[in-house]
Amino acid sequence: MVAPQEPGPVENGANHRFGVLNPKRWHDHPRPRVRRGVYLLPSLFTLGNMFCGYLCIMYAIRGELEVAAPYVGIAIVLDMLDGRIARLTGTASAFGLEFDSLADVISFGVAPAVLVFMWGLQPLDRLGWAGAFMYMTAAAVRLARFNIQTGSVDKRYFVGMPSPAAAGIPAATVYFYPKGFADPHLALIALALMVGPALLMVSTIRFSSFKTIDMRRRRSYKVLVLLALIIAIIQLHPRIVLVALAYTYLVTALVAAAWRMLRRRAPAPPPAG
């Protein structure tokens, strides 16, 4: 019988290089395609967010305001999902942060400005242009400030109204009353829908971020049940519920800010004795 020959140094090195003699090497180095796909997942949601803003602009220009307004709401949902998916999968990156901000400028800056201009700012002529441009500028400033404050502020709150919530106010209002205004006096309501959220975005009022909700906990099913309940209520009366949610978030933050201000100005109690 011929004794089995030992593999030569080249063959042994080649086998060792490709992991044939050491199967554990396949587990030590995961496939790059899977890793790349995981990193791409949050950016796909960001791309969908930007596409919804683009559709809102297109439908608003065509005068189909009732169709255009809901796309801002869809963009808000996608914007909430991309960040949470990036944190859950550990794929948060500087590129994702910048890409998300650029998409938000379109969906929550340009799209609401065009939507409200076609809805009720046209009778005001140049004043309407100025109001829409003011809102768009405030949204860009708000997003830029958020990028430089990431990691240095309390995660429980946003400093200034977040741009998705600010965009939800005019979008929900237009969806609730899509007829718009042709009278210049009534068009001042549309101007207030631009100026009010714009000032809140660049303010220092704290708005709840809901980032403390951890979906990885055992009792996260309660959050899912609450979300399912909200979706069911929206399905019953979408126009009323959406505008109520948008303004409730706004009023809650303003009431909390007023309460904190009153507590600061309240005189200290006199010392005992």
Structure tokens at 155: 């995660």
Maximum Cα interatomic distance, the chain, rounded to a whole number of Å: 108
Using DSSP's 3-state secondary structure scheme, residue 203 falls into coil
Question: Element (H or E) spanning 164, and its range?
Answer: helix 163-176
> Ranked by mean pLDDT, which of 34-38, 216-220, 240-244 comes out on top?
240-244
* 270 has pLDDT over 90: no
Q: What is the pTM of this model?
A: 0.78
Nearest CA-CA partner of 54 in 91, 90, 106? 106
Domains of the chain, earliest start first: 35-211+219-264 (1.20.120.1760)
User: Would you state the pLDDT for residue 199?
Assistant: 95
| Strand bridging mode 157-159 / 206-208 | antiparallel
DSSP β-bridge partners for residue 157: 208
Q: What is each CA distance from 229 to 108, 223, 224, 226, in whole angstroms?
A: 26, 10, 9, 5
DSSP β-bridge partners for residue 207: 158
The pLDDT tens digits for 25-64 are: 444 544 444 455 566 888 899 999 999 999 999 999 999 9
The pLDDT tens digits for 99-114 are: 999 999 999 999 999 9
Identify whether the C-beta of residue 120 lies closer than 8 Å to the C-beta of residue 189.
yes
Q: How confident is the model at residue 266 (pLDDT cuts 50, 70, 90)?
A: low
DSSP β-bridge partners for residue 158: 207
